[in-house]
Amino acid sequence: MAVLAGVKPGTGQRTGEGRLSWPVFLLTLAAVTSSSLSALSLYQLVALRAEVEGLRSEVCRRREEGQEAKHAGQTESISQRSSQESLHQPGHRPGSQPAVTLMRRRRLASGSEPLVAQPCLQLLANNSRKTFRKEYNSEPHTGIPWQAGLRRGSALEEDGDSMLVREEGFYFVYSQVYYMDSTFAMGHVVIRRKRNVVGDEPQYVILFRCIQ
């Protein structure tokens, strides 16, 4: 009688039901969290796939542009070679024109292929001169003596061992060096020097650096 004093009928059953609600709540919370993580992972996977597809299309586009540029360069070199061969032919007259030039002029007149002559300047290493020492950012560099090779237009001129840009625009810079030392790491750097400096902008700008 003393043990059952103060205990209302049905109290123990309600207490058990309250204790059973916590595992159910935890299982529900775990299921909701797992569903949220799965949805987030799926969204990230879709975003990564879209980014990969975008990068793949960009690589394909640049590859096609490179192939077109290479094809255009090969066509131009073939036309120049044909022009030189026609000039050296015995039956060639000074007033005559190569067939390739006539075809390109006909295409230009018809409007199918616009022909624009781009300015160009090629600098070749001068073997008759020795290399010299040059300071850049308080570091010693080896200067290479240059001599003018192929030149077209008046926008680019040779200025000693440098290239002087006369006209504003976008220019493609290409440099190639043959490294003969197999012991030490070698490299070359192409530097742009500004004659007119405004504010705190640097006078020397590195266009590109190559180490091999």
- What pLDDT band is residue 9 in, cutting at 50, 70 and 90? very low
Q: What residues make up the domain containing 161?
A: 120-211
Asked whether residue 111 falls in the same domain as residue 151, the answer is no
Residue 18 has pLDDT above 80, yes or no: no
- Rg, Å, the chain Cα set: 37
Place of tokens 């192939």: 67
Asked if the structure places residue 1 within a domain, the reply is no
What mean pLDDT do residues 146-158 have? Answer: 88
Q: Which residue has the higher pLDDT, 19 or 180?
A: 180
Asked if the structure places residue 201 within a domain, the reply is yes
Asked whether residue 111 falls in the same domain as residue 149, the answer is no
Distance in angstroms (rounded) separating the CA atoms of residues 210 and 26? 60
Distance in angstroms (rounded) separating the CA atoms of residues 140 and 6? 98
Whether 210 and 187 have beta carbons less than 8 Å apart is answered as: yes
Asked whether residue 106 falls in the same domain as residue 142, the answer is no
Asked whether residue 20 falls in the same domain as residue 109, the answer is yes
Write out the two tokens for 156. 């680019």
What are the C-alpha distances in Å from 195 to residues 32, 93, 97, 165, 199? 66, 47, 43, 11, 13
Confidence at residue 189, expressed as pLDDT on a 0 to 100 scale? 84
Asked if the structure places residue 192 within a domain, the reply is yes
Confidence at residue 46, expressed as pLDDT on a 0 to 100 scale? 82
Write out the two tokens for 128. 């008759």
Q: Which residue has the higher pLDDT, 97 or 186?
A: 186
- What pLDDT band is residue 75 in, cutting at 50, 70 and 90? low
Cβ-based neighbours of 55, under 8 Å, separated by 6 or more = none
Q: Is the pTM of this model over 0.95?
A: no
Write out the two tokens for 183. 């012991």
Distance in angstroms (rounded) separating the CA atoms of residues 167 and 125? 25
Asked whether residue 31 falls in the same domain as residue 107, the answer is yes
Confidence at residue 8, expressed as pLDDT on a 0 to 100 scale? 47
- What pLDDT band is residue 79 in, cutting at 50, 70 and 90? low
Asked whether residue 127 falls in the same domain as residue 174, the answer is yes
- The mean predicted confidence, pLDDT, of the chain is 73
- State how many domains the chain has: 2
